Chain A
Amino acid sequence: MEKRKTTLDREPVNSEYIRGKQNFDTVLKGYKSLKAPLWKSAWFYGPVGLAAITVVLSVTNLKEDKKAYEENTTPVELSAFHDVELSSTPVQVNKKDQKEVKEVKSEKPKPQVAPIVNKQEEVQETPEVEEPIAEETDDRDRLTEVVKEPRPEIRPVRRTTITTAEENTPKVYKNTLPKIAGIFTGSIKAYDFCTEEGITCNDGSKILAYKIQYFDGDNDVIEAVRGNQISEDLCYRVRRYNINQMIFITEIVAVDPAGTRKMIPSMSLIPTL
Protein backbone atom coordinates (compact mmCIF):
# COMPACT_ATOMS: atom_id res chain seq x y z
CA MET A 1 0.00 0.00 0.00
CA GLU A 2 1.27 3.43 -0.85
CA LYS A 3 2.15 5.91 1.84
CA ARG A 4 -1.02 7.07 3.55
CA LYS A 5 -2.23 10.58 4.01
CA THR A 6 -2.36 12.03 7.52
CA THR A 7 -4.78 14.80 8.39
CA LEU A 8 -4.56 16.78 11.60
CA ASP A 9 -7.67 18.20 13.22
CA ARG A 10 -10.03 17.70 10.32
CA GLU A 11 -13.29 19.49 10.74
CA PRO A 12 -15.69 17.10 12.48
CA VAL A 13 -18.87 16.09 10.72
CA ASN A 14 -22.04 17.10 12.46
CA SER A 15 -24.30 14.27 13.65
CA GLU A 16 -27.33 16.05 12.20
CA TYR A 17 -25.65 16.16 8.82
CA ILE A 18 -24.88 12.44 8.97
CA ARG A 19 -28.46 11.68 9.98
CA GLY A 20 -29.67 13.79 7.07
CA LYS A 21 -27.67 11.60 4.76
CA GLN A 22 -29.41 8.45 5.93
CA ASN A 23 -31.41 6.85 3.16
CA PHE A 24 -32.74 3.44 3.95
CA ASP A 25 -34.60 3.24 0.62
CA THR A 26 -31.27 3.31 -1.21
CA VAL A 27 -30.06 0.46 0.96
CA LEU A 28 -33.22 -1.56 0.24
CA LYS A 29 -32.91 -0.82 -3.47
CA GLY A 30 -29.27 -1.85 -3.39
CA TYR A 31 -30.17 -5.01 -1.51
CA LYS A 32 -32.83 -5.93 -4.07
CA SER A 33 -30.48 -5.33 -6.98
CA LEU A 34 -27.73 -7.31 -5.23
CA LYS A 35 -30.05 -10.23 -4.63
CA ALA A 36 -29.36 -12.93 -7.22
CA PRO A 37 -32.25 -13.42 -9.63
CA LEU A 38 -34.26 -16.57 -9.18
CA TRP A 39 -32.95 -18.16 -12.34
CA LYS A 40 -29.40 -17.93 -10.98
CA SER A 41 -30.13 -19.79 -7.78
CA ALA A 42 -29.79 -23.51 -7.18
CA TRP A 43 -33.39 -23.56 -5.95
CA PHE A 44 -34.45 -22.68 -9.46
CA TYR A 45 -32.35 -25.28 -11.22
CA GLY A 46 -33.40 -28.12 -8.96
CA PRO A 47 -37.11 -28.32 -9.74
CA VAL A 48 -36.88 -26.74 -13.17
CA GLY A 49 -34.05 -29.06 -14.19
CA LEU A 50 -35.97 -32.09 -13.00
CA ALA A 51 -39.11 -30.93 -14.79
CA ALA A 52 -37.14 -30.38 -18.00
CA ILE A 53 -35.59 -33.84 -17.80
CA THR A 54 -39.01 -35.37 -17.16
CA VAL A 55 -40.51 -33.56 -20.16
CA VAL A 56 -37.64 -34.61 -22.42
CA LEU A 57 -37.90 -38.23 -21.29
CA SER A 58 -41.67 -38.23 -21.70
CA VAL A 59 -41.48 -36.77 -25.19
CA THR A 60 -38.79 -39.25 -26.20
CA ASN A 61 -40.80 -42.13 -24.79
CA LEU A 62 -43.98 -41.00 -26.48
CA LYS A 63 -42.21 -40.62 -29.82
CA GLU A 64 -40.78 -44.12 -29.58
CA ASP A 65 -44.15 -45.56 -28.66
CA LYS A 66 -45.85 -43.73 -31.47
CA LYS A 67 -43.24 -44.86 -33.95
CA ALA A 68 -43.51 -48.47 -32.82
CA TYR A 69 -47.28 -48.24 -32.97
CA GLU A 70 -47.33 -46.72 -36.42
CA GLU A 71 -44.89 -49.29 -37.72
CA ASN A 72 -47.38 -51.90 -36.67
CA THR A 73 -50.16 -50.49 -38.74
CA THR A 74 -53.24 -52.42 -37.88
CA PRO A 75 -55.49 -53.86 -40.50
CA VAL A 76 -59.09 -52.78 -40.60
CA GLU A 77 -60.33 -53.01 -37.12
CA LEU A 78 -63.50 -54.88 -37.00
CA SER A 79 -66.24 -53.10 -35.26
CA ALA A 80 -67.58 -56.46 -34.26
CA PHE A 81 -64.72 -57.12 -31.95
CA HIS A 82 -65.04 -53.74 -30.30
CA ASP A 83 -68.47 -54.78 -29.17
CA VAL A 84 -67.04 -57.71 -27.31
CA GLU A 85 -67.14 -57.10 -23.61
CA LEU A 86 -64.52 -59.49 -22.50
CA SER A 87 -65.03 -58.93 -18.84
CA SER A 88 -68.51 -60.25 -18.39
CA THR A 89 -70.32 -60.84 -21.67
CA PRO A 90 -69.71 -63.53 -24.21
CA VAL A 91 -68.15 -62.89 -27.57
CA GLN A 92 -70.77 -61.23 -29.71
CA VAL A 93 -69.82 -60.99 -33.31
CA ASN A 94 -71.72 -58.79 -35.66
CA LYS A 95 -74.07 -61.02 -37.56
CA LYS A 96 -73.63 -59.47 -40.96
CA ASP A 97 -69.87 -60.02 -40.91
CA GLN A 98 -70.15 -63.45 -39.53
CA LYS A 99 -70.07 -66.25 -41.97
CA GLU A 100 -68.01 -68.92 -40.44
CA VAL A 101 -67.29 -69.55 -36.83
CA LYS A 102 -64.58 -71.78 -35.67
CA GLU A 103 -64.26 -72.81 -32.14
CA VAL A 104 -61.14 -74.48 -30.98
CA LYS A 105 -60.56 -75.85 -27.57
CA SER A 106 -56.90 -76.39 -26.98
CA GLU A 107 -55.42 -77.72 -23.82
CA LYS A 108 -51.81 -76.79 -23.15
CA PRO A 109 -49.37 -78.36 -22.81
CA LYS A 110 -50.44 -80.86 -25.41
CA PRO A 111 -48.28 -83.32 -27.29
CA GLN A 112 -50.53 -83.66 -30.28
CA VAL A 113 -52.56 -81.29 -32.45
CA ALA A 114 -55.50 -79.81 -30.68
CA PRO A 115 -58.88 -80.93 -31.88
CA ILE A 116 -60.77 -78.35 -33.82
CA VAL A 117 -64.48 -78.24 -33.71
CA ASN A 118 -66.18 -76.38 -36.49
CA LYS A 119 -69.59 -75.13 -35.79
CA GLN A 120 -71.81 -73.50 -38.34
CA GLU A 121 -73.77 -71.65 -35.80
CA GLU A 122 -73.89 -68.19 -34.40
CA VAL A 123 -71.67 -67.37 -31.51
CA GLN A 124 -74.52 -66.03 -29.51
CA GLU A 125 -75.94 -69.50 -29.41
CA THR A 126 -72.69 -71.05 -28.25
CA PRO A 127 -72.98 -71.86 -24.56
CA GLU A 128 -69.21 -72.07 -23.92
CA VAL A 129 -68.55 -68.45 -24.69
CA GLU A 130 -70.89 -67.35 -21.95
CA GLU A 131 -68.15 -68.06 -19.44
CA PRO A 132 -66.13 -65.06 -18.24
CA ILE A 133 -62.63 -64.89 -19.60
CA ALA A 134 -60.99 -63.99 -16.33
CA GLU A 135 -61.60 -67.48 -15.05
CA GLU A 136 -60.22 -69.04 -18.18
CA THR A 137 -57.02 -67.06 -18.19
CA ASP A 138 -56.19 -67.99 -14.64
CA ASP A 139 -56.46 -71.61 -15.56
CA ARG A 140 -53.38 -73.30 -16.92
CA ASP A 141 -55.50 -75.29 -19.33
CA ARG A 142 -56.70 -72.33 -21.26
CA LEU A 143 -59.59 -72.35 -23.62
CA THR A 144 -58.62 -70.85 -26.89
CA GLU A 145 -61.55 -69.82 -28.97
CA VAL A 146 -61.14 -68.87 -32.55
CA VAL A 147 -63.72 -66.95 -34.48
CA LYS A 148 -62.83 -67.08 -38.11
CA GLU A 149 -64.18 -64.28 -40.22
CA PRO A 150 -63.32 -64.29 -43.90
CA ARG A 151 -63.24 -60.85 -45.35
CA PRO A 152 -63.68 -59.95 -48.99
CA GLU A 153 -60.74 -57.60 -49.17
CA ILE A 154 -58.25 -56.81 -46.50
CA ARG A 155 -56.00 -53.87 -46.77
CA PRO A 156 -53.91 -52.40 -44.00
CA VAL A 157 -55.59 -49.24 -42.88
CA ARG A 158 -54.18 -46.79 -40.43
CA ARG A 159 -56.15 -45.93 -37.38
CA THR A 160 -56.63 -42.40 -38.52
CA THR A 161 -58.91 -43.56 -41.31
CA ILE A 162 -61.36 -45.04 -38.87
CA THR A 163 -63.95 -42.57 -37.80
CA THR A 164 -66.95 -43.80 -35.89
CA ALA A 165 -65.39 -47.06 -34.80
CA GLU A 166 -62.41 -45.19 -33.41
CA GLU A 167 -64.55 -43.26 -31.01
CA ASN A 168 -65.50 -46.49 -29.30
CA THR A 169 -61.99 -47.93 -29.40
CA PRO A 170 -60.58 -48.34 -25.92
CA LYS A 171 -57.40 -46.54 -25.01
CA VAL A 172 -54.24 -48.31 -26.17
CA TYR A 173 -51.65 -48.70 -23.44
CA LYS A 174 -48.46 -48.11 -25.31
CA ASN A 175 -46.10 -49.06 -22.54
CA THR A 176 -47.27 -52.64 -22.59
CA LEU A 177 -45.87 -54.40 -25.60
CA PRO A 178 -46.86 -57.88 -26.70
CA LYS A 179 -44.27 -60.31 -27.96
CA ILE A 180 -43.94 -63.79 -29.35
CA ALA A 181 -40.65 -65.45 -28.49
CA GLY A 182 -39.39 -62.00 -27.56
CA ILE A 183 -40.32 -60.43 -30.89
CA PHE A 184 -42.77 -57.57 -31.03
CA THR A 185 -42.60 -56.78 -34.71
CA GLY A 186 -40.73 -57.85 -37.83
CA SER A 187 -39.40 -61.20 -38.93
CA ILE A 188 -39.93 -64.23 -36.77
CA LYS A 189 -38.97 -67.83 -37.34
CA ALA A 190 -42.06 -69.91 -38.05
CA TYR A 191 -40.90 -72.31 -35.35
CA ASP A 192 -40.70 -69.47 -32.82
CA PHE A 193 -44.10 -68.19 -33.86
CA CYS A 194 -45.67 -71.37 -32.61
CA THR A 195 -44.03 -71.27 -29.21
CA GLU A 196 -45.91 -72.82 -26.31
CA GLU A 197 -45.77 -69.56 -24.39
CA GLY A 198 -47.96 -67.91 -26.99
CA ILE A 199 -48.19 -64.14 -26.83
CA THR A 200 -46.67 -62.61 -23.71
CA CYS A 201 -46.16 -59.07 -22.51
CA ASN A 202 -43.10 -57.12 -21.49
CA ASP A 203 -44.66 -56.05 -18.18
CA GLY A 204 -46.18 -59.31 -17.05
CA SER A 205 -49.67 -58.57 -18.35
CA LYS A 206 -51.69 -61.56 -19.54
CA ILE A 207 -53.25 -61.62 -22.97
CA LEU A 208 -56.97 -62.23 -22.83
CA ALA A 209 -57.85 -62.04 -26.50
CA TYR A 210 -56.57 -60.91 -29.82
CA LYS A 211 -57.35 -60.92 -33.52
CA ILE A 212 -55.06 -62.40 -36.10
CA GLN A 213 -55.15 -61.62 -39.80
CA TYR A 214 -53.48 -64.07 -42.13
CA PHE A 215 -53.83 -65.87 -45.45
CA ASP A 216 -55.51 -69.27 -45.18
CA GLY A 217 -54.80 -70.49 -48.66
CA ASP A 218 -57.88 -68.96 -50.23
CA ASN A 219 -58.50 -65.63 -48.61
CA ASP A 220 -57.17 -63.26 -46.04
CA VAL A 221 -59.01 -64.06 -42.86
CA ILE A 222 -59.31 -62.49 -39.46
CA GLU A 223 -59.73 -64.72 -36.48
CA ALA A 224 -60.72 -63.55 -33.06
CA VAL A 225 -58.88 -65.64 -30.50
CA ARG A 226 -59.48 -65.84 -26.77
CA GLY A 227 -56.46 -66.53 -24.66
CA ASN A 228 -52.83 -65.96 -25.49
CA GLN A 229 -52.10 -69.19 -27.32
CA ILE A 230 -51.54 -69.65 -31.02
CA SER A 231 -53.32 -72.88 -31.84
CA GLU A 232 -51.67 -75.75 -33.63
CA ASP A 233 -54.15 -75.33 -36.45
CA LEU A 234 -53.23 -71.71 -36.85
CA CYS A 235 -49.56 -72.54 -36.70
CA TYR A 236 -50.05 -75.07 -39.44
CA ARG A 237 -51.73 -72.52 -41.70
CA VAL A 238 -49.15 -69.89 -40.96
CA ARG A 239 -46.31 -72.26 -41.77
CA ARG A 240 -48.00 -73.44 -44.93
CA TYR A 241 -49.39 -70.21 -46.42
CA ASN A 242 -47.83 -67.25 -44.71
CA ILE A 243 -44.08 -67.65 -44.92
CA ASN A 244 -42.59 -64.26 -45.79
CA GLN A 245 -46.05 -62.69 -45.63
CA MET A 246 -47.05 -60.22 -43.02
CA ILE A 247 -49.39 -61.39 -40.31
CA PHE A 248 -51.21 -58.85 -38.19
CA ILE A 249 -52.14 -59.47 -34.61
CA THR A 250 -54.47 -56.69 -33.57
CA GLU A 251 -56.91 -55.66 -30.89
CA ILE A 252 -54.87 -57.39 -28.27
CA VAL A 253 -56.64 -57.22 -24.94
CA ALA A 254 -54.52 -57.82 -21.88
CA VAL A 255 -54.95 -57.71 -18.13
CA ASP A 256 -52.09 -56.35 -16.07
CA PRO A 257 -50.96 -57.78 -12.70
CA ALA A 258 -53.16 -55.21 -10.97
CA GLY A 259 -56.19 -56.62 -12.78
CA THR A 260 -56.74 -53.75 -15.20
CA ARG A 261 -57.92 -54.69 -18.65
CA LYS A 262 -56.35 -52.77 -21.47
CA MET A 263 -55.87 -52.69 -25.21
CA ILE A 264 -52.21 -52.94 -26.10
CA PRO A 265 -50.33 -52.15 -29.36
CA SER A 266 -50.79 -54.44 -32.36
CA MET A 267 -48.12 -56.69 -33.78
CA SER A 268 -47.05 -57.24 -37.36
CA LEU A 269 -44.91 -60.26 -37.94
CA ILE A 270 -43.36 -61.91 -40.97
CA PRO A 271 -42.87 -65.63 -40.41
CA THR A 272 -39.68 -66.94 -41.99
CA LEU A 273 -38.15 -70.34 -42.33
Chain B
Amino acid sequence: MTVNPVYHQSDSKLREELDWITEAKKDPESFGPLYTKYHEQIFRYVYQRMDDQELAFDVTSQVFIKALSNLHRYEYRGVPFSSWLYRIAKSELYQAFRDRKAKRTVNVESVHLFEMMEEFEEDDNSENKARLIEVLSTLRENDLQLIELRYFEKRSYREIGEILEITENNAKVRTFRALERLKKQFLK
Protein backbone atom coordinates (compact mmCIF):
# COMPACT_ATOMS: atom_id res chain seq x y z
CA MET B 1 0.00 0.00 0.00
CA THR B 2 1.26 3.48 -0.88
CA VAL B 3 1.99 5.96 1.87
CA ASN B 4 0.43 9.41 2.09
CA PRO B 5 3.47 11.74 1.75
CA VAL B 6 1.70 14.74 3.24
CA TYR B 7 1.03 12.82 6.41
CA HIS B 8 4.43 11.23 6.75
CA GLN B 9 6.64 14.28 6.87
CA SER B 10 10.25 14.81 7.84
CA ASP B 11 11.10 16.43 11.17
CA SER B 12 12.19 19.62 9.44
CA LYS B 13 8.82 19.85 7.67
CA LEU B 14 7.02 19.31 10.95
CA ARG B 15 9.14 22.01 12.62
CA GLU B 16 8.38 24.41 9.78
CA GLU B 17 4.70 23.64 10.20
CA LEU B 18 4.97 24.27 13.92
CA ASP B 19 6.55 27.67 13.23
CA TRP B 20 3.61 28.55 10.97
CA ILE B 21 1.20 27.51 13.69
CA THR B 22 3.01 29.60 16.29
CA GLU B 23 2.92 32.60 13.99
CA ALA B 24 -0.74 32.03 13.13
CA LYS B 25 -1.62 31.94 16.82
CA LYS B 26 -0.27 35.50 17.06
CA ASP B 27 -1.51 36.73 13.72
CA PRO B 28 -4.36 34.93 11.88
CA GLU B 29 -3.05 36.18 8.53
CA SER B 30 -0.02 33.93 9.03
CA PHE B 31 -2.35 30.94 8.73
CA GLY B 32 -2.06 31.28 4.93
CA PRO B 33 0.73 28.71 4.35
CA LEU B 34 -1.13 26.08 6.36
CA TYR B 35 -4.29 26.78 4.41
CA THR B 36 -2.44 26.45 1.10
CA LYS B 37 -0.75 23.26 2.19
CA TYR B 38 -3.81 21.42 3.45
CA HIS B 39 -6.71 22.85 1.46
CA GLU B 40 -6.63 20.17 -1.22
CA GLN B 41 -6.28 17.29 1.25
CA ILE B 42 -9.18 18.46 3.33
CA PHE B 43 -11.32 19.14 0.28
CA ARG B 44 -10.68 15.63 -1.05
CA TYR B 45 -11.50 14.15 2.35
CA VAL B 46 -14.80 16.07 2.42
CA TYR B 47 -15.68 15.54 -1.23
CA GLN B 48 -14.98 11.81 -0.88
CA ARG B 49 -17.94 11.66 1.49
CA MET B 50 -20.42 13.89 -0.29
CA ASP B 51 -21.88 14.39 -3.72
CA ASP B 52 -22.17 18.16 -4.00
CA GLN B 53 -18.85 19.68 -5.06
CA GLU B 54 -19.74 23.30 -4.16
CA LEU B 55 -20.97 22.21 -0.77
CA ALA B 56 -17.71 20.32 -0.32
CA PHE B 57 -15.79 23.55 -0.97
CA ASP B 58 -18.03 25.36 1.51
CA VAL B 59 -17.46 22.73 4.16
CA THR B 60 -13.73 22.88 3.49
CA SER B 61 -13.72 26.64 4.05
CA GLN B 62 -15.70 26.12 7.22
CA VAL B 63 -13.10 23.62 8.42
CA PHE B 64 -10.34 26.22 8.07
CA ILE B 65 -12.43 28.95 9.71
CA LYS B 66 -13.05 26.66 12.66
CA ALA B 67 -9.40 25.69 12.76
CA LEU B 68 -8.35 29.33 12.80
CA SER B 69 -10.76 30.29 15.53
CA ASN B 70 -9.71 27.33 17.68
CA LEU B 71 -6.02 27.53 16.90
CA HIS B 72 -5.20 28.81 20.39
CA ARG B 73 -6.32 25.39 21.69
CA TYR B 74 -4.10 23.42 19.34
CA GLU B 75 -1.22 21.57 20.96
CA TYR B 76 1.58 20.03 18.94
CA ARG B 77 1.89 16.32 19.62
CA GLY B 78 4.51 15.34 17.06
CA VAL B 79 2.02 14.54 14.30
CA PRO B 80 1.14 16.65 11.28
CA PHE B 81 -1.33 19.49 11.61
CA SER B 82 -3.56 17.67 9.13
CA SER B 83 -4.64 15.19 11.82
CA TRP B 84 -6.24 18.03 13.73
CA LEU B 85 -7.79 19.41 10.53
CA TYR B 86 -9.26 16.00 9.67
CA ARG B 87 -10.94 15.83 13.06
CA ILE B 88 -12.51 19.24 12.46
CA ALA B 89 -13.46 18.15 8.93
CA LYS B 90 -15.17 15.04 10.27
CA SER B 91 -17.19 17.15 12.66
CA GLU B 92 -18.09 19.73 10.01
CA LEU B 93 -19.03 16.99 7.60
CA TYR B 94 -21.56 15.49 9.98
CA GLN B 95 -22.79 19.00 10.72
CA ALA B 96 -23.40 19.45 6.99
CA PHE B 97 -25.26 16.15 6.79
CA ARG B 98 -27.52 17.32 9.59
CA ASP B 99 -27.99 21.01 8.81
CA ARG B 100 -27.56 21.30 5.07
CA LYS B 101 -29.25 18.00 4.28
CA ALA B 102 -26.17 16.94 2.36
CA LYS B 103 -26.26 13.37 1.13
CA ARG B 104 -23.71 10.97 2.58
CA THR B 105 -22.00 9.46 -0.42
CA VAL B 106 -19.59 6.57 -0.80
CA ASN B 107 -17.28 7.18 -3.71
CA VAL B 108 -15.75 3.98 -4.91
CA GLU B 109 -13.33 3.38 -7.73
CA SER B 110 -13.19 0.14 -9.68
CA VAL B 111 -9.63 -0.41 -8.62
CA HIS B 112 -10.69 -0.31 -4.95
CA LEU B 113 -13.38 -2.87 -5.60
CA PHE B 114 -10.85 -5.06 -7.32
CA GLU B 115 -8.51 -4.86 -4.32
CA MET B 116 -11.31 -5.78 -1.98
CA MET B 117 -12.30 -8.76 -4.09
CA GLU B 118 -8.75 -9.94 -3.79
CA GLU B 119 -8.96 -9.46 -0.05
CA PHE B 120 -12.17 -11.51 0.02
CA GLU B 121 -10.64 -14.05 -2.42
CA GLU B 122 -13.60 -13.64 -4.75
CA ASP B 123 -13.88 -13.13 -8.49
CA ASP B 124 -13.76 -9.58 -9.79
CA ASN B 125 -16.94 -9.83 -11.83
CA SER B 126 -19.65 -7.26 -12.30
CA GLU B 127 -22.11 -9.19 -10.16
CA ASN B 128 -19.73 -9.23 -7.21
CA LYS B 129 -18.95 -5.56 -7.74
CA ALA B 130 -22.62 -4.65 -7.64
CA ARG B 131 -23.07 -6.78 -4.57
CA LEU B 132 -20.14 -5.09 -2.84
CA ILE B 133 -21.48 -1.59 -3.68
CA GLU B 134 -24.82 -2.53 -2.19
CA VAL B 135 -23.23 -3.90 0.97
CA LEU B 136 -21.10 -0.76 1.32
CA SER B 137 -24.15 1.43 1.25
CA THR B 138 -25.68 -0.47 4.17
CA LEU B 139 -22.53 -0.81 6.25
CA ARG B 140 -22.46 0.84 9.69
CA GLU B 141 -21.03 4.37 9.58
CA ASN B 142 -18.10 3.56 11.86
CA ASP B 143 -17.13 0.55 9.79
CA LEU B 144 -17.55 2.42 6.51
CA GLN B 145 -15.35 5.20 7.83
CA LEU B 146 -12.54 2.75 8.56
CA ILE B 147 -12.92 1.03 5.18
CA GLU B 148 -12.83 4.39 3.40
CA LEU B 149 -9.79 5.62 5.27
CA ARG B 150 -7.82 2.42 4.86
CA TYR B 151 -8.84 0.93 1.50
CA PHE B 152 -10.14 3.89 -0.52
CA GLU B 153 -7.86 6.65 0.73
CA LYS B 154 -4.87 4.44 1.50
CA ARG B 155 -4.06 5.95 4.85
CA SER B 156 -1.69 4.37 7.33
CA TYR B 157 -3.06 2.97 10.58
CA ARG B 158 -1.16 5.69 12.42
CA GLU B 159 -2.94 8.37 10.44
CA ILE B 160 -6.31 6.66 10.85
CA GLY B 161 -5.63 6.55 14.59
CA GLU B 162 -4.88 10.27 14.63
CA ILE B 163 -8.03 11.15 12.66
CA LEU B 164 -10.30 8.97 14.75
CA GLU B 165 -8.50 9.82 18.01
CA ILE B 166 -7.61 6.22 18.73
CA THR B 167 -4.28 4.39 18.96
CA GLU B 168 -2.58 2.94 15.91
CA ASN B 169 -3.16 -0.62 17.15
CA ASN B 170 -6.77 0.09 17.90
CA ALA B 171 -7.16 1.48 14.38
CA LYS B 172 -5.67 -1.69 13.00
CA VAL B 173 -7.95 -3.94 15.05
CA ARG B 174 -11.08 -1.90 14.26
CA THR B 175 -10.29 -1.83 10.55
CA PHE B 176 -9.80 -5.60 10.53
CA ARG B 177 -13.12 -6.11 12.28
CA ALA B 178 -14.87 -3.69 9.93
CA LEU B 179 -13.50 -5.62 6.97
CA GLU B 180 -14.67 -8.87 8.54
CA ARG B 181 -18.18 -7.51 8.93
CA LEU B 182 -18.15 -6.27 5.32
CA LYS B 183 -17.03 -9.66 4.12
CA LYS B 184 -19.68 -11.39 6.21
CA GLN B 185 -22.41 -9.22 4.74
CA PHE B 186 -20.98 -9.62 1.24
CA LEU B 187 -20.97 -13.42 1.49
CA LYS B 188 -24.37 -13.59 3.11
Interface string of B20-58 (1 = CB under 8 A from A): 000000001101100110011001100100010100010
- In the complex, whether B158 has a CB less than 8 A from a CB of chain A is no
Interface residue stretch chosen among A2-10, A209-217, A230-238? A2-10
Q: A8-B109, A13-B53 are in contact. Are A31 and B40 (CB under 8 A)?
A: no
Chain B nearest CB, measured from A141 CB (Å): 71
Chain A interface residue count: which class? Answer: 20 to 34
- Complex alpha-carbon distance, A173 and B18, angstroms: 61
Interface string of B100-141 (1 = CB under 8 A from A): 000111111110010000000000000001000110111001
Query: CB distance A4 to B40 under 8 Å?
Result: no
- In the complex, whether B185 has a CB less than 8 A from a CB of chain A is no
From A19, which residue of chain B is reached at the shortest CB distance? B40
Interface residue stretch chosen among A20-28, A82-90, A194-202, A219-227? A20-28
Q: A5-B106, A8-B133, A19-B40 are in contact. Are A28 and B69 (CB under 8 A)?
A: no
Interface string of A14-40 (1 = CB under 8 A from B): 010011011110111011001100000
- In the complex, whether A1 has a CB less than 8 A from a CB of chain B is yes
Q: Tell me the interface secondary structure of chain A in the complex.
A: mixed
Chain B nearest CB, measured from A47 CB (Å): 21
Neighbour of B106 across the interface among A7, A9, A18, A31, CB < 8 A: A7
Neighbour of B104 across the interface among A4, A21, A34, CB < 8 A: A4
- In the complex, whether B74 has a CB less than 8 A from a CB of chain A is no
- Complex alpha-carbon distance, A7 and B64, angstroms: 27
B-to-A contact residues, CB < 8 Å: 28-29, 31-32, 35-36, 39-40, 43-44, 47, 51, 53, 57, 61-62, 64-66, 68-69, 97, 103-110, 113, 129, 133-134, 136-138, 141, 144
A–B Cβ pairs within 8 angstroms, 21 of them: A1-B97, A5-B51, A5-B106, A6-B105, A6-B133, A7-B106, A8-B108, A8-B113, A13-B44, A13-B47, A13-B53, A15-B40, A18-B39, A18-B40, A18-B43, A28-B28, A30-B61, A30-B65, A31-B68, A34-B65, A34-B66
A-to-B contact residues, CB < 8 Å: 1, 3-10, 13, 15, 18-19, 21-24, 26-28, 30-31, 34-35
